[in-house]
Structure 1
Amino acid sequence: MENKKDSLQNILDTGELVINVISEWFIEAANYTAINAPLGVSEFDLSGLTPLPSSKVKPPHVAESAFSIEAKLVSHHPWYSPTTGKNTGVTIFAEGVNFHIREDMWLEGNEGSIVDIAKLKPVSRLGGIMYGRTTEGHELPRPEFTIEKDKDEIKKVL
C-alpha cells in the first residue's frame, strides 16, 4: 500500500497489536487518530488519548477504551484493485492473548458474564468517514443440529 499508516507498518514489523473498541465517549479523539500525519508523529499525542502499558505485547492500549485486546499477528492478506492493480488495503488476522475490560462494563447473562453493549456504547468505522453506533444487542441461541435435522425443511436439504 502506498500510504500505509504507521499502525499497519508497526503490526507487520513487530507482529503485535492492540485492538481498542471505540466508544461514543471518545469518538472524536479516536477519529483524530486517522489524521494523515507524517511517519513518526504520535497519534496518541495528537488525539489526546492516553497510552497504557500492555501486559503481553509491546504496543500500549488506550486508557479511554473500556475494552481492549492485546493480540499477536497470525497472518495478513493484501488486497489489490482489479482495475488498477494498486494495493488498496490489508486484512489482519490476529490472536487475542490478553483482554482488558473495565469492571463496570459487565452484564450477568445466562451463560456467564458478557459485556453490556448499552454500557460499552461501541462505535464502528464503516468506511471512508462514516461511523455507526451499536445501541442495543440481543442474544440468538445457535441451532442444535441433533434437533434441527429432524425438521422437514432441514431433511429436504440433507
Structure 2
Amino acid sequence: MHIDIEKATAREKYNLLIGLVAPRPIAWVTSMDEDGALNAAPFSAYNYLCTDPPIIGMGVMEKGEFVPKDTARNIRRTGEFVVNVVTEDLLHEMNICATDFPPGVNELEMAGLTTAPSTIVKVPRIAQAHAALECREFTTLAVGRSHIILGQVVAMYIEDRFVNPDGPYVLAEELHAIGRMNGLGSYVKTNGAFVQEPRIPYSEWLKGKR
C-alpha cells in the first residue's frame, strides 16, 4: 500500500505514524504551575536528540483548539520539568496518570504515588520511579496543534542498583523500561527481550568479505 500523506486525514496520519515509529520511549513528565500545583502526564512522542548539550525532545498535542495541555503550559511558564522513566512495575500507575481528570485533580494522588525532591529544578520527581531526568526548557516550537518542547537535562537520578559505576552505564537489562506501540494501550516490555548485535569494525568487515 502506498499512502499519499497530503491526502490523508489527521487521524490517518496519526494511526500510521505511531505504528511505524515504534517502540517509543515514554516521558512520564512532572511539571508545576506558578502556584506550585503539580501535574503528571505521559508522552510517547519523546526521545533524546543530542548529548552535548544533553537535549531531550517531546511533542505535546493541544487538548483542544488553541488550548495547550497542562504540561506544555506549565513548562512554558516555569521553564522546568522532570522526565520520569517508565518501567514495567509502574505501567499501571503511569496509565492512571494518562486519565483525563478534571482540573484540580492530582494525578499522582489518584495513582497512589508520592514525590521526592529534585536536586536542581523545583519540580519534584516521582519517588517510585527508578530513574528521572531533571530538565530546563531549552526552547518550545509551536507546530500545527502541537508544542515541540526541547529540554536540557541538568541532572539525573538513577537508583544505585541500576548503574554500573565503571562507565557509568545504565543496567538497562535490569531496569526494564517499557515502550509504546501503536495506540489503544499497546506497550512492549524489555525484560528478557534484549538482542546483542555488536557493530562491525571496517577492518573486520573487509576480512569477512574475503
TM-score, structure 2 length as denominator? 0.58
Question: What percentage of residue pairs aligned between the two structures are identical?
Answer: 28
2:181, 2:68 → 1: CA distance?
A: 19
Match for 1:130: what amino acid?
Answer: S
- Highest Rg: 1 or 2? 1
Letter in 1 for 2:95: N
CA distance in structure 2 between the partners assigned to 1:71 and 1:29 by the alignment: 22
Q: Please state how far the C-alpha of 1:78 moved relative to its aligned partner.
A: 2.7
1:103 and 1:36, CA in 2 relative to 1: closer, same or farther beyond 3 A?
Answer: same
Give the secondary-structure state (helix, strand or coil) at the position aligned to 1:4. Answer: coil
Bigger RCO (CA 8 Å, 6+ sep): 2
Q: For 1:65, which of 105, 115, 129 is the aligned residue?
A: 129
Of 139, 156, 173, the match for 1:118 = 173
One-letter amino acid of the structure 2 residue matched with residue 12 of structure 1: R
For the residue of structure 2 that corresponds to 1:122, the secondary structure is: coil
Distance 1:130 1:79 in 2: 26
Per-residue CA distance 1:85-110 (angstroms, 9 max, x = gap): xx1x322111111110000002366x
Rounded to whole Å, the distance in 2 between the matches of 1:79 and 1:97 is: 26
TM-score by length of 1: 0.75
CA separation of 1:141/1:49 partners in 2, compared to 1, >3 Å: closer, same or farther? farther
In the alignment, which residue of structure 2 is the partner of 1:19? 83
Correspondence 1:73-92 to 2 at 5 A: 73-80=137-144, 87=145, 89-92=146-149
Partner of 1:55: 119
Asked if 2 retains the 8 angstrom alpha-carbon contact of 1:70 and 1:98, the reply is yes
Alignment of 1:130 onto 2:194: no
**CA distance in 1 between partners of 2:136 and 2:161 (Å):** 27
Which position in structure 2 is the counterpart of 1:39?
103
Instruction: Provide the rounded CA distance (Å) in 1 between the counterparts of 2:118 and 2:137.
Output: 16
> Which residue pairs with 1:156 in the alignment?
none
Contact persistence 1:11–1:73 (CA under 8 A): yes
Structure 2 gap ranges (5+): 1-61
Deviation at 1:139, TM superposition (A): 7.4
Q: Could you list the per-position Cα deviations for residues 124-153 of structure 1 after superposition, in whole angstroms to 9, with x for gaps in the alignment?
A: 23453322223326475597xxx78xx8xx
Aligned to 1:99: 156
Residues 117 and 39 of structure 1, relative CA distance in 2, 3 Å threshold = same
TM-aligned CA deviation for residue 77 of structure 1: 2.1
Give the number of aligned pairs: 137
- Alpha carbon RMSD of aligned pairs, Å? 2.4
Contact between 1:106 and 1:116, CA under 8 Å: does it hold in 2?
Answer: yes
SS at the partner of 2:133?
strand
Three-state SS of the structure 1 residue aligned to 2:178 is strand
Distance verdict in 2 for CA 1:52–1:138, change over 3 Å:
farther
